[in-house]
Chain A
Amino acid sequence: MKVETGKNIQVNDVSPSGIKIIWQEIKKDKLAMGSLIILAAILLFVYGASFFMDAKEIAKVDFLSIYLEPSSDYWLGTDYGGRDVFGQLIIGTRNSFTISLFITLFTAIIGLSLGLLAGYFGGATDNVIMRVIDFVIALPQLMFIIVVVTIVPIFNVYVFILIMTMFLWTGKARLIRSKALSERELDYIHASQTLGTPHWKIILFQLLPNVSSLIIVNFILNLAGNIGLESSLTFLGFGLPESTPSLGTLISYARNPDVLENKWWIWVPASLMILVLMLSINFVGQALKRAADARQRRG
């Protein structure tokens, strides 16, 4: 009788890694794959082009070329200050994306830490954290952000990111807490606890990897949402300071009925850019959501 080598058995037993599953799921989903390619192309172009652009040159007011229609000189025309809309679109996309990325990152860090703590320890820790979350989540956030933006003594991009983070971490924390709460009842956690593994090790090396797919999916969907929120606030005039134009800045010119009705080249490209960014990020996120949930996988 031949004895099988241990090596062979192990190779057969290895399940496909998480990243491999995700990649396969995206490859199968034509919409998600298309979105990913479009997204990558836009980001590469925007970050590449903005590298060669002079932001100060674009922000310079030129009264001789106010409200010009698109031409070979100005691909997307000019605004009320004679500034090139195409250049503002590139810089604005870069700013909107970068800032939303940071907001998402910071809210993820806070939401993740507090969610894991509340879910893992439960009891009093959970109670305190959850009461805070319940309260912040019930606030009319848009109004609070606007008021805080107006009353802070110094306002710049960093303060804006801080204010947004302050109000937006709660949803994530609640989601991760509920997942951690159910995870901690499972045997692998109990086993580690019985063996005397310190809590921080269990949280970092056992709990965290098991909630990671949830975090990734939530991160991507939140990124799309934050781009929308940031541009909404900038549109209203309470988002990014004027020195840092965003996509919302271009669209806010459409609050002037004349621009909205007659000068489409100012606000339509920026609106389309937000729609394309948010939709493609969402489609990728939805595909990942399916990949993370074994029941919804397409095979």
Chain B
Amino acid sequence: MWKFILRRLLVMIPQLFLLSIIVFMMAKAMPGDALSGQEINPRANPAELDRIREELGLNDPWYQQYLRWASNALQGDFGVSYTHKTPVMDVIEDRLWNTVFLALVTLIFTYMLAIPLGILSGRYNDTWVDKTVTGYSYLGFGTPIFIFALIMLFVFGFALDWFPSGGSVDSKVDEGTFAYVVSKINHLILPALSTALIATTSTIQYLRNEIIDNKIKDFVRTARSKGVPESKVYSRHILRNSFLPIAAFLGYEITGLVGGAVIIETIFSYPGLGQLFLSSVSLRDFSVVTAIVMMTGFATLLGTLLSDIILSAVDPRIRIE
């Protein structure tokens, strides 16, 4: 087990290195450089600008620049934002927490839907219950999130006016009060539910198939023949074995949410990382873009690592490979 984790961690080092090289190359390919982020007299003469460039090391060979950029990034320093005129990390921090909250609530909704529906569908397979749930998952497979989110926003945000149609908190409430927390949650529900209703369908199907596979296994037949009551056969024997692979997909689920944030936050004008990313791309604020891409890339690598480790913990066959 420890050997697998160690080997998996070792694989991550070249992956991180490669990721940072690619992100650095993309940053270099973007128009403008670190100077564009500083307050500089627009009439400064080109010789003066060149001197500053030389001082900042922008004329050095690329590998020297890369090493400096990477060591700064490791310390959480991604330079200065061009539009906000503040260090990139300050711009990102608030948005980051908004995205984390949204992802957390989305995850809770996803599993609150997937577990009961998956169990029902797997336990009573080929009945009308199963057919309804399976029909729902087929619809979920074929529906892109942005269309579903628009419809949700149209119905619940505008037509029925049950939920706010944008933002992450009501501007009138004070930070730290109870009303503030309520307002935050109220803003989260619609985007989180829209994502969860679609994202949950693959987990439902997976859980369903796991349960159906486990139902006919020998250990279940043994339990039944010993006279274990049906409810206990499910809770103790079938479900415990079916949940393990589902738990392992948690990491991949997080990976998907991080990517999906771009779409969902744009539609609900939710001030998170995804929305910041898109607006920074449009404003050509590339120091922010680079930082966000690097951070989400790191997060997805971590998510995959997490899933691989859980998978190997619950399924010893994987470790041998």
Residue of B nearest to A270 (CB): B147
Contact A140 B154 (CB under 8 A): no
Instruction: Assess A278 versus B259: contact at CB under 8 Å? Given A138-B301, A286-B138.
Output: no
Q: Does A255 contact B (CB under 8 A)?
A: yes
Q: Does A139 contact B (CB under 8 A)?
A: yes
Q: Does B30 contact A (CB under 8 A)?
A: yes
Contact A236 B147 (CB under 8 A): no
Distance in angstroms between the alpha carbons of A146 and B140 in the assembled complex:
25
Contact B151 A271 (CB under 8 A): yes
Q: Does A224 contact B (CB under 8 A)?
A: yes
Contact A142 B146 (CB under 8 A): no
Instruction: Give the interface size class of chain A.
Output: 35 or more
Contact A151 B30 (CB under 8 A): yes
By a CB distance below 8 angstroms, the chain B residues around A286 are: 138
- Which of A235, A255, A278 is B142 in contact with, Cβ under 8 Å? A278
Contact A146 B278 (CB under 8 A): yes
By a CB distance below 8 angstroms, the chain A residues around B158 are: 257, 260-261
Q: Does A159 contact B (CB under 8 A)?
A: no
Contact B142 A224 (CB under 8 A): yes
Q: Does A91 contact B (CB under 8 A)?
A: no
Contact A139 B300 (CB under 8 A): yes
A143 CB to nearest chain B CB (Å):
5
* Interface 1/0 per residue, A54-95 and B, CB below 8 Å: 000000000000000000000000000000000000000000
Most buried by B among A138, A254, A274, A282: A138
A270 CB to nearest chain B CB (Å):
9
Instruction: Give the interface size class of chain B.
Output: 35 or more
* Interface 1/0 per residue, B3-21 and A, CB below 8 Å: 0000000010001001100
Residue of A nearest to B303 (CB): A138
A12 CB to nearest chain B CB (Å):
34
Q: Is the interface of A mostly helix, strand, loop or mixed?
A: helix
Distance in angstroms between the alpha carbons of A278 and B198 in the assembled complex:
14
Q: Does A147 contact B (CB under 8 A)?
A: yes
By a CB distance below 8 angstroms, the chain B residues around A144 are: 293
Instruction: Assess A257 versus B266: contact at CB under 8 Å? Given A138-B15, A139-B19, A143-B277.
Output: no
Contact B292 A142 (CB under 8 A): no
* A-B residue pair count with CB separations less than 8 angstroms: 102
Distance in angstroms between the alpha carbons of A135 and B22 in the assembled complex:
12
Contact B263 A236 (CB under 8 A): yes
Contact B165 A236 (CB under 8 A): no
A133 CB to nearest chain B CB (Å):
12
Contact A267 B150 (CB under 8 A): yes
Contact A135 B18 (CB under 8 A): yes
Contact A148 B262 (CB under 8 A): no
By a CB distance below 8 angstroms, the chain A residues around B243 are: none
Distance in angstroms between the alpha carbons of A118 and B6 in the assembled complex:
25
Residue of B nearest to A137 (CB): B304
By a CB distance below 8 angstroms, the chain B residues around A257 are: 158, 165
* Interface 1/0 per residue, A263-281 and B, CB below 8 Å: 0000100010011001101
Q: Does B139 contact A (CB under 8 A)?
A: yes
By a CB distance below 8 angstroms, the chain B residues around A135 are: 15, 18-19
Complex interface residues of chain B between 254 and 296 (CB less than 8 A to chain A):
255, 258-260, 262-263, 266-267, 277-278, 281-282, 289, 292-293, 296
Q: Does A228 contact B (CB under 8 A)?
A: yes
Contact A232 B263 (CB under 8 A): yes
Q: Does B144 contact A (CB under 8 A)?
A: yes
Q: Does A231 contact B (CB under 8 A)?
A: yes
By a CB distance below 8 angstroms, the chain A residues around B151 are: 271
Contact A260 B300 (CB under 8 A): no
Contact B296 A143 (CB under 8 A): yes
Contact B266 A236 (CB under 8 A): yes
- Which of B139, B259, B299 is A141 in contact with, Cβ under 8 Å? B259
Residue of A nearest to B266 (CB): A236
Q: Does A288 contact B (CB under 8 A)?
A: no
Instruction: Assess A150 versus B281: contact at CB under 8 Å? Given A236-B263, A278-B144.
Output: yes
B95 CB to nearest chain A CB (Å):
14
A238 CB to nearest chain B CB (Å):
8
By a CB distance below 8 angstroms, the chain A residues around B267 are: 255
Q: Does A173 contact B (CB under 8 A)?
A: no
Q: Does A251 contact B (CB under 8 A)?
A: yes
Q: Does A160 contact B (CB under 8 A)?
A: no
B51 CB to nearest chain A CB (Å):
28
Contact A231 B266 (CB under 8 A): no
Most buried by B among A142, A231, A278, A282: A142
B256 CB to nearest chain A CB (Å):
10
Distance in angstroms between the alpha carbons of A286 and B292 in the assembled complex:
37
21 A–B contacts, CB within 8 A, in A order: A138-B304, A140-B255, A140-B299, A141-B259, A142-B262, A147-B281, A147-B289, A148-B26, A235-B263, A236-B263, A236-B266, A251-B146, A257-B158, A257-B165, A267-B150, A274-B144, A275-B142, A278-B144, A279-B138, A281-B142, A282-B138
Q: Which 3 A-B pairs have the closest CB atoms?
A: A228-B144, A279-B142, A282-B142
Q: Contact residues of B with A, CB < 8 Å?
A: 11, 15, 18-19, 26, 29-30, 138-139, 141-147, 150-151, 153-154, 158-159, 165, 255, 258-260, 262-263, 266-267, 277-278, 281-282, 289, 292-293, 296-297, 299-301, 304
Q: A151-B29, A279-B142 are in contact. List 6 more A-B contacts (CB 8 A).
A: A142-B263, A143-B292, A146-B262, A232-B146, A260-B153, A274-B147
